[in-house]
Structure 1
Amino acid sequence: MQAADGSGDGGAAAVSGASGEPAVVRLSLRGEPVVSYVLTIDAIVDSPRTTLQYVWRRAGEQRRLEGPSYLVTAPDIGCEISVLVTPVGSNGALGAPQQAATAGAVCVAPEVPHTLREWVQRGERRFDGLFDATDRERSLLLTGDKIKVRENRNKVEKTVMKESHALARLEYGTDELTFMLVLPSVKRASPLTLRAKSAFQRDLIYLALKAFSSPDSIAALPTAATSLKPATALELNTPEPSGARSPASSVTSEQADMSDAVRRVQLATKFKNRTLGSFARRKSKE
Structure 2
Amino acid sequence: GGGDADELRQHLSQAQDEADAARQALAETEARAAETEAKAARLEKELAQATGASAGRKPSRAAEALNAATPSFMQQNAQQGSAPPAARASSATAATEDEDDEDEEDEPAVTQLVLETAHGGEPIMGGDLVAKASLAGAVDVPHFSWSRGGKPMPHVTGDSYPLGAEDVGLEVTVRVTVQGAGGRVASRDATSSLVGVGEAVKTHLTEWSVRQGERAFGVQMPSLGDKEGHVFFNVKNFKVQDKSRKKTLHKDAFKDVTMEMGGDDEGRLFTLQMKALAKQKPRGEQFRAKDRFERDLIYLTLQAFSNPNWLGRLPTAPGGAGLPLDISGLSGPSASPDGPPSPTSSIASGVSGVGDAPPSEAGSQQGKKVSGSRTFSFGRKKKSNA
TM-score when normalising by structure 1:
0.66
Counterpart of 2:114 in structure 1: which amino acid? S
Counterpart of 2:191 in structure 1: which amino acid? A
Aligned to 1:116: 205
Aligned to 1:200: 293
Aligned to 2:142: 52
The verdict on how the C-alpha distance between 1:83 and 1:27 changes in structure 2, with shifts beyond 3 A counting, is: same
Q: How does 1:146-225 map to 2 (within 5 A)?
A: 146-152=237-243, 158-175=247-264, 176-187=267-278, 188-190=280-282, 191-225=284-318
RMSD across aligned positions (CA): 3.1
Q: How far does residue 222 in structure 1 lie from its aligned partner after superposition?
A: 2.0
Aligned to 1:275: none
The verdict on how the C-alpha distance between 1:18 and 1:202 changes in structure 2, with shifts beyond 3 A counting, is: farther
Q: Radius of gyration: which is bigger?
A: 2
1:27 aligns with 2:113: yes
| Secondary structure in 2 matching 1:51 | coil
Q: How far does residue 133 in structure 1 lie from its aligned partner after superposition?
A: 5.6
State the percentage of identical aligned residues. Answer: 29
Counterpart of 2:273 in structure 1: which amino acid? V
Counterpart of 2:198 in structure 1: which amino acid? A
| Secondary structure in 1 matching 2:304 | helix
| Secondary structure in 2 matching 1:40 | strand
Query: Which sections of structure 2, spanning at least 5 residues, go unmatched?
Result: 1-102, 342-386
Q: How far does residue 22 in structure 1 lie from its aligned partner after superposition?
A: 4.4
| Secondary structure in 2 matching 1:166 | helix
Q: 2-side partners of 1:76 and 1:123: how far apart? A: 25
Q: How far does residue 25 in structure 1 lie from its aligned partner after superposition?
A: 4.5
1:101 aligns with 2:191: yes
Q: How far does residue 27 in structure 1 lie from its aligned partner after superposition?
A: 2.6
Counterpart of 1:192 in structure 2: which amino acid? E
Aligned to 1:283: none
Pick which of 93-102 and 79-88 moved more. 93-102
Q: How far does residue 84 in structure 1 lie from its aligned partner after superposition?
A: 0.4
Tell me how many residue pairs correspond in the alignment: 224
User: Does the 8 Å CA contact 1:53/1:86 hold for their aligned counterparts?
Assistant: yes
Q: How far does residue 161 in structure 1 lie from its aligned partner after superposition?
A: 1.5
Give the structure with the higher percent strand. Answer: 1
Q: How far does residue 35 in structure 1 lie from its aligned partner after superposition?
A: 1.8
1:142 aligns with 2:233: yes
User: Does the 8 Å CA contact 1:35/1:74 hold for their aligned counterparts?
Assistant: yes
User: Does the 8 Å CA contact 1:86/1:94 hold for their aligned counterparts?
Assistant: no
| Secondary structure in 2 matching 1:185 | helix
Residues 142-167 of structure 1: CA deviation (Å, up to 9, x unaligned): 12322222334xx8963221212232
Which of 126, 150, 155 is residue 36 of structure 1 equivalent to?
A: 126
Give the structure with the higher percent helix. Answer: 2
Q: How far does residue 132 in structure 1 lie from its aligned partner after superposition?
A: 2.9
The verdict on how the C-alpha distance between 1:23 and 1:133 changes in structure 2, with shifts beyond 3 A counting, is: farther
User: Does the 8 Å CA contact 1:126/1:244 hold for their aligned counterparts?
Assistant: no
The verdict on how the C-alpha distance between 1:41 and 1:131 changes in structure 2, with shifts beyond 3 A counting, is: farther
Q: Considering Cα pairs closer than 8 Å and 6+ residues apart, tell me whether 1 or 2 has the greater RCO.
A: 2
Query: Which sections of structure 1, spanning at least 5 residues, go unmatched?
Result: 1-16, 247-286
Q: How far does residue 219 in structure 1 lie from its aligned partner after superposition?
A: 1.9
TM-score when normalising by structure 2:
0.51
Q: 1-side partners of 2:133 and 2:176: how far apart? A: 9
Which of 328, 338, 341 is residue 243 of structure 1 equivalent to?
A: 338
User: Does the 8 Å CA contact 1:58/1:81 hold for their aligned counterparts?
Assistant: yes
| Secondary structure in 1 matching 2:186 | coil
Q: 2-side partners of 1:131 and 1:44: how far apart? A: 46
